[in-house]
Each structure stands twice: as C-alpha cells, then as structure tokens.
Amino acid sequence: MLPRGMKAGAKMAVTLKDVAKKAGVSPATVSYALRGGQYVSPATMKKVMKAAKALGYTTNMSARSLRYGKTKIIEVVVHELDIPYYYSKLAATAVPAINREGYQALVLQTGLDAGNVKEAVDGISNQICDGVILNATGIDANEIKRLSMNRPTVLLDDCTPEPVLDTVMTPNREGARIATRHLIEQGCRSVAAVGIGYVSPTAIGVQVGTSKERFEGVREALAENGMGLTERQCLACDWLVEPGREIAHQLADVGMPFDGLFCASDSLAFGLIRGFADRGIRVPDDVLITGFDGISLGEYTVPSISTVRIDMKDLVDKAIRLLLDRIDGIYDGEPRREVAGYDFVVRGSSTRA
C-alpha cells in the first residue's frame, strides 16, 4: 500500500506493522517491546523479538526522528579530511566523544571553499541533526547567524570581536608568542613567520582572523626582545605541505636570510623540512623551525617537529559541552567563548644537538 504517487522501491523495507502482523500483536505493542519492554509481558516480548529478527526489522530513522522531534545526531563539519592532519584528527577525536554522549556523529567534508561550507550546512543539515560543530573560517557573522537559526551550532576558531555563537578558540596569539619566544631563546636573531600575512599598523584594529592573531603573537614575542616584524618577514601562503616546500625552495634560492621560522601549521613545517632537504639546507643546523597544531606525524618526521600542540580532546569536549547545553536547554544565554588547552612541545626541528 504505497502512498499516493509514491513509486515502488526495488525492495520495500520491513516495518513495525509487518512485525506486528507476524507476531500477532498491535504495532504499539511492538514499539514498546522493541524499546525495552516496558508494559510488555515476557511472552509477548519474546514473540515480538522473534518476529522482528525473522523479518530483519530495523527502525526507520526518518520516521522515528520525525515523531521524536530529535535525531540524536551531531554533525562535525570540517574543510578537508586529507589535509595532514588537523581536520582528520579533529574528526577522529570528535566522533567517539560524541558517541559517548549518546549521539551519533556525522562528519561532513566541505572542501576549502567557504561557499561550500554554507551550502553543506544549508543542505544536509537542514534538520537531519540536532547540532553542528563547525569550523567558521571564511564565513561572515551574518551568514553564521542565519545558519544557526535552525539548530544549535558551536564554532571553532571564530575570531569575530563580538561572538555571535558559542565558540571554542585555539590559542592563536599565545601559541605564536610562545613558539617565537622559544626560537629566540634558542639563539635565533632573524625570525620569519611562514603562512602569516603581514598586518600593517593601520589594519591591526580592523583585520580579523586566526592568521592575524598569530601575527600579533609573533610580533609581541619579537618586540619583547627588541626586534621588529616587517613585511619582509611575513611569508603568506596556504597552511599546507606543498606551499611549505615551495617557500623553502624560495628561501634557499635567495641564500636563506633567516635563522628561525615560525610556521602557522605542522603541515607547513613538514613541507619546509622536505624543501630544505632538496636544497641541502639542514634543519636544525642551518635553521630552526617550529610548527603549530600538534599533529601526531610531527613526532615522526626527520627531524621531528617542535610544535604548539592543541589539546584536541579538550577542544572537542568543550565544543560538545557547549552544544549539549544548548540542545538540552540547559543554557540559553549570550554566546560563550572558550579556549582549548595546549602545550608547547620541543623536538628536533628547533634544538641544536
């Protein structure tokens, strides 16, 4: 008995009604039985279970969600799963943490283009999940506000001065400051920032974002030590492996003008190490390098990568807590902002033997 106008599927799924008929009880009783047996006699229970198993019944989640008003799904939206390695680590950490709270986790990959993120969240997320954890980079505040109309949303690393939604921040400025300070302590006197665009004094109050915060951190550490941060020292590029390699080549070709490099990501550091190896420049003998993120692979490169290691578990736990507080109606006030824990890990890339 198809609904009017519905096409027959190749294979109709088994429904509660089918199980009820087979077990000789009402659908209501089947529902009660399947959901743990409250109000159901042991004998009925047994009949129902047997029938359900025999027919291979599984709950139609669309129907349950529609009825229940909740999906028990939390979505994790990341840009790229195969960027080594921040996002895959984020997703991998978030999934079991979400499961522990009794929710299913769905990972959504949007690609690096900000437009796709909008679309992705608009699209599937419509109402297929109860909440979203979303890396906000590249979407503006209005857009974010609009997205949140439908469901609780926690942002990651949204640097907007006035937060519009709950956010978990990475320690951009502090991390950059500590890493740069470390380079100076190791004796560097000519430091550059890889992956960081120069921010002019007039733009400093206007510009917003992760890169700008890290710029500030680097600048502060240099200033503490009587050094400046000029345009020449800022080597803007995407935070990926290949750009790191290219920058290493460029630096080698102009005679390696720096003795310390703060990298905005471990992937960049990874690429730099490779690029310097191509040109016979030795890390850490000829130049010291620090990364950012704390991807696990950084422990295994040769040399291994000193890094600002984000406590991914802490980040994820905080995001989930913020989200559940909204979903469960425990908190309904102004947007809150938290900062993920981190530590600085000293490894081979920034220490001379």
Of 22-30, 57-65, 180-188, 339-347, the window that binds a second copy (rule: CB under 8 A) is 57-65
**Contact call for residue 3 and a second copy (CB under 8 A):** yes
**DSSP category for residue 14:** P
How far, in Å, CA of 304 to CA of 319, rounded? 30
Query: Which residues partner with 133 through β-bridges?
Result: 76, 154
334 binds, among DNA, a second copy, none (CB under 5 to 8 A by kind): none
121 binds, among a second copy, DNA, none (CB under 5 to 8 A by kind): none
**In the complex, what is the shortest distance from the CB of residue 225 to a second copy, in angstroms, rounded to a whole number?**
31
- DSSP 3-state of 233: helix
**Contact call for residue 65 and a second copy (CB under 8 A):** yes
Among 95, 237, 252, 345, binds a second copy (CB under 8 A): 95
31 binds, among a second copy, DNA, none (CB under 5 to 8 A by kind): DNA
What is the binding site for DNA (CB under 7 A)?
Answer: 1-6, 12-13, 15-17, 24-29, 31-32, 34-35, 39-41, 43-44, 57, 59-60, 63-64, 66-69
**Contact call for residue 237 and a second copy (CB under 8 A):** no
Terminal C-alpha separation, the chain = 77
Show the binding pattern over residues 320-349: x = contacts a second copy (CB under 8 A), - = does not.
Answer: ------x--x--x-----------------
The DSSP-derived string for 197-222 is: ----TTTTTT--SHHHHHHHHHHHHH
Alpha helices in the chain, H assignment, sequence order: 16-23, 27-34, 42-55, 61-68, 86-100, 114-122, 125-128, 141-148, 172-185, 210-224, 241-253, 266-279, 312-327
| Cβ count within 10 A of residue 123 | 11
Of 20-28, 92-100, 196-204, 336-344, the window that binds a second copy (rule: CB under 8 A) is 92-100
How far, in Å, CA of 155 to CA of 133, rounded? 6
**Contact call for residue 107 and a second copy (CB under 8 A):** yes
**In the complex, what is the shortest distance from the CB of residue 65 to a second copy, in angstroms, rounded to a whole number?**
4
Q: How far is CA 224 from the centre of its chain?
A: 32
Show the binding pattern over residues 13-42: x = contacts a second copy (CB under 8 A), - = does not.
Answer: x-----------------------------
Of 301, 264, 288, 281, the closest CA to residue 349 belongs to: 288
Nearer to a second copy, 7 or 161 (CB): 7
Nearer to DNA, 65 or 233 (CB): 65
Among 113, 122, 140, 343, binds a second copy (CB under 8 A): 122
Contact 144, 301 (CB under 8 A): no
The tokens describing 283, both together, are 């890390």
**DSSP category for residue 6:** P
146 binds, among DNA, a second copy, none (CB under 5 to 8 A by kind): a second copy
How far, in Å, CA of 141 to CA of 143, rounded? 5
Contact 214, 199 (CB under 8 A): no
The residues that touch a second copy, with contacts defined as CB under 8 A, are 3, 6-7, 9-10, 13, 56, 58-63, 65-71, 73, 80-82, 84-85, 88-89, 91-93, 95-96, 104-109, 111, 122-124, 126-128, 146, 149-150, 241, 245, 270-271, 273-274, 277, 296-297, 300-302, 304, 326, 329, 332
